[in-house]
Amino acid sequence: MSKPRAKKIKLLLLDVDGVMTDGTLWFIPAGDGGLPSIREQARLKGASGGFGIASDGFVEVKGFHAHDGTAMSLARRGGLKIGLITKRISETVALRARDLRLDHVYQGCADKVTAFWEILAKEHLTEEQVCYIGDDVIDLPVMRRCGLAIAVANAREEVKDEAHLVTDHAGGAGAVRDAVEYILRAQGKWDDVLKWYISDRSVSKKR
């Protein structure tokens, strides 16, 4: 049931906490001249009803898995656009999104469906061409509308029940990599993408 859906996917949208991370939130002192304040972060495009840390003296830190970072490169090579929609506001997420060169970054979105519609309009895509990966009930409104709904292994049971696919790995432990590999395999692109990734990072030495 999920493979025919995966063949149509052109855009991959992700939740952050519990999907790109294991859901743990760390708060550390920002220090003088540190990262932008939460007021600046709140001005990020798409912010509407979300939240972040209350003090400018602290920064919210998250941990991301290297396998998921590789997945972004593989997805782009396979022709997929990538974006994230999260309720929280964090400069750490903004930095990671820039590092991964994500196409769409929506932070501070309590209403994820509105962000979903806006991204679809920008990309001129239909619902069935979008995959969304979530872990908690706030993700269900989008998961119910997209073409391929994926729950991570550590998702709440209500989310797993409505997902078309559940990843083998938990959020923050390679779940995004699972999803990307599944989609690219379904589209018959995995072998070529993998060969490109390996050859692009191999040093050819003349003897």
Parent domain of 46: 2-200
The reply to whether 51 falls in a domain is yes
The reply to whether 183 falls in a domain is yes
Place of tokens 């990599």: 177
Residue 38 confidence class, pLDDT cut points 50, 70, 90: very low
Residue 65, domain CATH: 3.40.50.1000
Place of tokens 């974006």: 83
The reply to whether 137 falls in a domain is yes
**Confidence at residue 52, expressed as pLDDT on a 0 to 100 scale:** 53
By three-state DSSP, how is residue 36 classified?
coil
The reply to whether 19 falls in a domain is yes
Place of tokens 């995959």: 131
Please answer whether residues 14 and 176 qualify as being in contact, where contact means their C-beta atoms are separated by less than 8 angstroms.
yes
How many structural domains comprise the chain?
A: 1
> What HEC string does 173-201 produce?
CCHHHHHHHHHHHHCCCHHHHHHHHHHHC
The reply to whether 206 falls in a domain is no
The reply to whether 55 falls in a domain is yes
Q: How far apart are CA 148 and CA 142, in angstroms?
A: 10
Please answer whether residues 89 and 44 qualify as being in contact, where contact means their C-beta atoms are separated by less than 8 angstroms.
yes
Predicted model pTM: 0.84
Q: And the tokens for 11?
A: 């855009």
Which tens digits make up the pLDDT trace of 147-188?
Answer: 999 999 999 999 999 999 999 999 999 999 999 999 999 999
Q: How far apart are CA 189 and CA 59, in angstroms?
A: 39
